Amino acid sequence: MKVAIDLTIIYIKQTLSQMLSSRKSKLGKNLFFIGAMFLVVVFAIGFAFYGVAEQFSAIGQGELVLFVGLLFSIFTSLLVNVNDAQNYYYKNKDYPFLSSLPIRQIYVILAKYFSAYFISFVYSFVIVFPAYIVYFIFNPVTVPAVLYGIVALFLLPTFSQLVGSIFASIINLITIKFKNKTLVSNILTIIFTVALIAFIFISSNSDLMTNLFTSGIPLWVKIIFSQDYFLYSAMTSGFVIDFVIFLAISIAFACISIGLITISYKKINTKMQSASSGNRKKALSFKQNSITLSLMKKEAHSFFSSAVYMINCLSGLFLLIALSITLSIAGNNMTQTNALPSELIACLYVFSASMVVGMIPPSASSISIEGKKFLLLKSLPISFEKLCISKILFSFLISLPFIVISNIIFVCIFPLPATTILMIFLVTILSSLTFSVLGFILNLKWPRMNWQNQTQAVKQGLSVFLTVAIGMASNLIPILLYFFLYFEIDAVLGIDLFILIYLAVLLIVLASLILLLAKKGKKMYVKI
């Protein structure tokens, strides 16, 4: 068992050292930076929950904010972590090495499970912790509730780990039967991800919220999200039995996940090692391209051949389209019933859309994903400017069609004045470009070049964490500010003017980032 613990510690240490910096001199600075961003995100999420809690409290059901928080945490964990399991268990570079050592397979699986669990826990914590705080502001603080809450924090990720391990095992068990494994794996991953996004949106549609207000938590929610429901019940009522059921469900989830991986771990990994020999008869093409186009093609190959790299970005973009459909339909209902004015719906959409595109730019991990190949790239006569352009432009272009489609869907279903439509297009497109540049700069500063699986490069670098945090904070703050101005101090600030101010800020930020890249970028590039 000690081997499993040692291996888990190695994995987690590796993740943390890559996130924070391996150099002690920079550790403090990076810790402060991450800590500050972490607090901003936690505060912004807490503020949003506070608004929800106020509405629940007005109808005497303030405790429901806890359930909303738990559900939101589950959805986020599912969206963010569900595909990671594939890379942790089945596409890891260390399989041949570990399988050559006299270590029991179960210990390796346990180590991998807990290292994946750790990342899931971090994401879960960011949402559940502020939900707890808000819950205790609106509800009495009792010893059992606090105790249950603390213990549950560590067990909540078992659900997303279960779904992740089921996805990963099914996808890879199918994939190994095919010759073109990458293509099959990517197609299946996209299908599963789109299905998951659809499920999450159907689950969290306005009917669920209406039911929460009127007749409480629906039965199907209690069944599917039984883990959350029993925790909610234990914390609000203080019943020990509910907490015991929560513990039993969580442990069962963990056991099923580990059992499932144990069954398929060796089979899948062994088959994955035997790569196909490819088509040898195909005629060779010697077509000439410009350096930039050639680099862009390389970026595209890299993007579409990595399930985690592609899905990390595309899931956000599919989410964007789902968001535009949901918000435009819900927005129409809300404006018709005078629940919310159209200005607030437009505000919600434009900044939520910007937030989604700001959180997923592939440029934030485009250097890390190169790994050791980056040295080869550096030895070639490719100018730094061309490298920047190829990585930033690819990141921007991959999002652009989704942004345009999503905006068209939104403005078609939810009618808005021409000026607002123009503002929506400008902000979302400029946000995508700005965050592509920002992500690239952050990755240039904090690349993660030594990784064991692509998830570590794509999701667990400091650059990715900061891009996600800045993307969230910089768009949540304007939403909260506009709502605050509208409801709290009754300041009537037109949405067009508000977006115009944000647009100006965004332009200044973009110009500053380009200037920073021009001045310091090359130095950072040489240091890698």
Interface with other proteins (CB under 8 A) = 23, 182, 275-291, 293-294, 297-298, 301-302, 304-306, 371-373, 375-376, 378-383, 526-527
- Decide whether 179 or 266 has the Cβ nearer to other proteins: 179
Q: Smallest distance, Å, CB 525 to other proteins?
A: 10
Q: Smallest distance, Å, CB 523 to other proteins?
A: 9
- Decide whether 12 or 393 has the Cβ nearer to other proteins: 393
Q: Smallest distance, Å, CB 474 to other proteins?
A: 33
- Decide whether 141 or 526 has the Cβ nearer to other proteins: 526
Per-residue buried b or exposed e for 300-310, using 16+ beta carbons within 10 Å of the residue's own CB: eebbeebbbbb
Residue recorded with tokens 């272009």: 397
Q: Smallest distance, Å, CB 325 to other proteins?
A: 33
Distance in angstroms (rounded) separating the CA atoms of residues 466 and 528: 19
Q: Smallest distance, Å, CB 279 to other proteins?
A: 6
- Decide whether 226 or 292 has the Cβ nearer to other proteins: 292
- Decide whether 60 or 381 has the Cβ nearer to other proteins: 381
User: CA Rg, the chain, in Å?
Assistant: 24
- Decide whether 33 or 384 has the Cβ nearer to other proteins: 384
Distance in angstroms (rounded) separating the CA atoms of residues 521 and 447: 13
What DSSP letter does each residue of 250-306 carry, written as one string?
Answer: HHHHHHHHHHHHHHHHHHHHHHHHS-----SSSPP------HHHHHHHHHHHHHHT-
Contact, 462 vs 19, CB < 8 A?
Answer: yes
- Decide whether 118 or 384 has the Cβ nearer to other proteins: 384
Q: Smallest distance, Å, CB 520 to other proteins?
A: 14
- Decide whether 336 or 379 has the Cβ nearer to other proteins: 379
Q: Smallest distance, Å, CB 156 to other proteins?
A: 36
Residue 389: burial class (beta carbons within 10 Å; 0-12, 13-18, 19+): middle
Contact, 53 vs 137, CB < 8 A?
Answer: yes
Alpha helix (H) ranges present in 139-239? 143-155, 158-175, 181-203, 206-214, 219-224, 226-237
State the CB neighbour count (10 A cutoff) for residue 278. Answer: 9
- Decide whether 343 or 370 has the Cβ nearer to other proteins: 370
> Looking only at Cα atoms, what is the longest distance across the chain?
73
- Decide whether 186 or 324 has the Cβ nearer to other proteins: 186
Q: Smallest distance, Å, CB 296 to other proteins?
A: 11
Distance in angstroms (rounded) separating the CA atoms of residues 291 and 276: 30
Using left for φ > 0, alpha for ψ between -120 and 50, and beta otherwise, residue 84 falls in alpha
Contact, 257 vs 163, CB < 8 A?
Answer: no
Instruction: Give every CB contact of residue 519 below 8 A, 6+ residues apart in sequence.
Output: none
Q: Smallest distance, Å, CB 464 to other proteins?
A: 20
The Cα-based distances of 17 to 70, 85, 456 in angstroms read: 30, 21, 12
Distance in angstroms (rounded) separating the CA atoms of residues 261 and 136: 38
- Decide whether 96 or 494 has the Cβ nearer to other proteins: 96
Instruction: With H, G, I as helix, E, B as strand and everything else as coil, classify residue 417.
Output: coil
Q: Smallest distance, Å, CB 177 to other proteins?
A: 17
Q: Smallest distance, Å, CB 91 to other proteins?
A: 12
